[in-house]
């Protein structure tokens, strides 16, 4: 077959996803093959950047994704990173889907072939969505007994790992504690005795529900500074945890925390491009490097993972998006030698499954890798258009 197929159109679609919108790139080739990717709208301006760059993509050969990416990077080099990098990642992922479909193979074949048929997953935002966003995720969690029941549900549904977040408890009722994101507005993000107490009682309640055989991961996000993170890791050193996840833009500070922690430290989910990961690798700041493949592009993410492997570091994908992102990450994990574990949301919106042609198949806590061409799922355009995106003013 000819190894040439020009890209003739690049469109953006979006739909309502409760507290956010899902966003998609639809890339069409001259052979009427459609490549899809899902991208993140949490950073304002990504869609505008994709539209601005579309003219440099139209007319290019869909088989030459590295050349296209390199050209787009060169064209935007003075502003590399952040929103621009996320736009490049979204375009790359759509081209990979189109190329795989042109070849009639799953995307993992483009990445070196699959190493594993299934990947272990952890139930992310466990209790979190039902506490913070009970308008969309049911049943609502309003007491410590509900938190324990959540842990029990994870075990009964045969998941082997879960990840939860930080909360405050007032008269036994949990509520969000996300000062790193301005909720509440508390820019000093200090960690006091009450927060330490609430982290512990939340984790102990989850453990009461799961029993001893489920791994528990704790995500602290950007919700403290180095002093606060140290207080937390020291206070919960005696608890049985799989990892503590910390976001920090200072690799030296994170490396210092890691060397004080009794638990493995994971980080890096907000980084884009190998250049941003390198200081964390050199500092030996992480036990597990978290890579956001929708932001970076799956092909570029394989380069990051290969560099992590050279530093004796395993990799886990950042994945709290829709089903297409889950499948993109599943192909990444299937081909990844230094794979640790995959994040996935199990609590979903009531209309999530209708938005996609296929949903992830999960059995005994593992995601089964499909053999369908491309990513193995596509947005259902009719359903997407039936849930128009909401105008949002928070970003």
Paired tokens of 117: 């048929």
pTM: 0.96
Say whether 110-375 and 7-105 share the same fold: no
The pLDDT score that the predictor gives to residue 348 is 96
Separation CA 336–CA 114 (nearest Å): 8
Other Cβ atoms within 10 Å of 357 Cβ, number:
15
Q: How many CA atoms lie within 13 A of 204 on its CB side?
A: 9
Q: Is the pLDDT of residue 112 over 60?
A: yes
Query: Average per-residue pLDDT in the chain?
Result: 96
Domain segments of the chain: what residues?
Answer: 7-105, 110-375
pLDDT at 395 over 70: no
Instruction: Pick 110-375's CATH classification: 3.20.20.120, 3.90.1260.10, 3.40.50.300, 2.60.120.380.
Output: 3.20.20.120
What residue ranges in the chain does DSSP mark as E strands?
7-17, 20-29, 34-39, 118-124, 161-164, 167-170, 173-176, 215-219, 243-245, 265-267, 288-291, 314-317, 342-345, 362-363, 366-368
What is the spatial distance between Cα 217 and Cα 242, in angstroms, rounded to a whole number? 5
**What pLDDT, in 10s, does the model give residues 284-327?**
999 999 999 999 999 999 999 999 999 999 999 999 999 999 99
Q: Are strands 34-39 and 20-29 parallel, antiparallel or unpaired?
A: antiparallel
Neighbouring C-alpha atoms within 13 Å toward the C-beta of 94: 33
CATH class as words, domain 7-105: alpha beta
| DSSP annotation string for 270-336 | T--SHHHHHHHHHTT--SEEEE-HHHH-HHHHHHHHHHHHHTT-EEEE---S-HHHHHHHHHHHHH-
Q: How confident is the model at residue 394 (pLDDT cuts 50, 70, 90)?
A: very low
CA-to-CA dists, residue 334 to 120, 266, 316, 331, angstroms:
10, 20, 11, 5
Q: Which residues, at least 6 apart from 184, have a Cβ–Cβ distance to it below 8 Å?
A: none
Question: Over the stretch 209-252, which tens digit does the pLDDT of each residue have?
Answer: 999 999 999 999 999 999 999 999 999 999 999 999 999 999 99
């Amino acid at each position: 077959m000819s190894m040439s197929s020009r890209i003739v159109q690049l469109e953006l679609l979006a739909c309502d996803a409760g507290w956010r919108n899902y966003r998609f790139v639809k890339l069409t080739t001259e052979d009427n093959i459609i490549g899809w990717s899902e991208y993140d709208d949490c950073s304002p301006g990504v869609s505008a950047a994709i539209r601005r760059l579309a003219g440099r993509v139209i007319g290019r050969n869909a088989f030459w994704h590295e050349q296209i990416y390199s050209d787009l990077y060169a064209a935007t080099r003075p502003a590399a990173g952040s929103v621009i990098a996320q736009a490049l990642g979204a375009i790359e992922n759509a081209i990979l889907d189109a190329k795989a479909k042109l070849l009639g193979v799953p995307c993992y074949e483009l990445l070196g072939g699959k190493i594993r048929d299934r990947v272990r997953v952890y139930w992310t935002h466990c209790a979190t969505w039902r506490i913070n966003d009970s308008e969309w995720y049911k049943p609502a969690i309003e007491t410590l007994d509900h938190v324990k029941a959540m842990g029990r549900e994870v075990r009964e549904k045969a998941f082997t790992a879960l990840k939860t977040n930080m909360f405050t408890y007032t008269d036994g009722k949990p509520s969000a504690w996300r000062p790193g994101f301005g909720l509440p507005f508390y820019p000093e993000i200090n960690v006091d005795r009450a927060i330490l107490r609430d982290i512990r009682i939340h984790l102990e309640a989850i453990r009461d529900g799961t029993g001893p055989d489920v791994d528990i991961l704790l995500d602290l996000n950007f919700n403290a500074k180095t002093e606060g993170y140290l207080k937390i890791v020291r206070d919960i050193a005696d608890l049985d945890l799989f990892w503590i996840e910390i976001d920090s833009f200072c690799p030296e500070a994170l490396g210092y925390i890691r060397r004080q922690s009794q638990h493995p430290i994971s980080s890096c989910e907000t980084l884009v491009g190998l250049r941003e990961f390198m200081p964390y690798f050199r500092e030996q700041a992480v036990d597990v490097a978290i890579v956001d493949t929708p932001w970076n592009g799956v092909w570029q993410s394989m380069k990051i993972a290969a560099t992590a492997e050279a530093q004796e570091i395993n990799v886990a994908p950042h994945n709290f998006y829709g089903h297409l992102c889950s499948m993109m990450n599943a192909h990444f994990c299937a081909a990844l030698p230094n794979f640790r574990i995959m994040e996935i949301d199990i609590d979903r919106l009531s209309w999530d499954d209708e938005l996609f042609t296929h949903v992830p198949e999960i059995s005994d806590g593992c995601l089964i890798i499909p053999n369908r061409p491309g990513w193995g799922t596509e947005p259902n355009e009719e359903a997407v258009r039936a849930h128009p995106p909401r105008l949002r003013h928070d970003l």
